[in-house]
Amino acid sequence: MKSALYKKGMATRTKVMGKKHIAKRHGSTDKFSLQQQAFVTEYAWGAFWSRKDLPLKIRSLVTLAMITALNRPDEIKGHIRGALNNGATPEEIMGVFHHATVYCGFPAANGAVRAGAEVFKELGLI
């Protein structure tokens, strides 16, 4: 039985990331991957993304800045889609990446910009 926090997290995660992303992440038959997805859903999405102290759009933009700093382009692509779902514009997202250049360095920001351009092209936004 899934906890209330997991259910809350799944609702928020689906709203932000979309059903296609959820199906891909939870489609694994590997018990270790499934355990990780349950943990992420319950704690990251249920305990933190579901908080009311920041609007989802701001939370998405902050997340993009942090994962740019961590140089995680694989995570950036999914969170760009989430930010768009939360009402962020491509210009705002790129503004985060350009601002990150100053604080995170060119290599991390360059990777984020490339990921952004790739996602925007896939979605027909550029």
Residue 1's pLDDT is: 72
- pLDDT given for residue 24 in this prediction: 82
Q: Over the chain (126 residues), what is each successive 10-residue block's mean pLDDT? A: 92 94 80 89 96 98 98 94 98 98 96 97 96
Contacts of 100 (CB under 8 A, 6+ apart): 65, 68, 69, 108, 109, 112
Tokens describing residue 31: 């018990």
Domains of the chain (ranges; CATH) run 1-53 (no CATH), 54-126 (1.20.1290.10)
| pLDDT computed for residue 92 by the predictor | 98
What angle (nearest 5°) sits at the alpha carbon of residue 78, between those of residues 72 and 101? 45
Q: What is the pLDDT of residue 75?
A: 94
The pLDDT of residue 30: 86
Q: Which letter, b or e, does each residue of 52-61 get, where b requires 16 or more Cβ atoms within 10 Å of its Cβ?
A: eeeebbebbb
Task: Compute, in degrees rounded to 10, the torsion defined by CA atoms 70, 76, 78, 80.
Answer: 130
Q: 99: which 2 tokens?
A: 């601002």
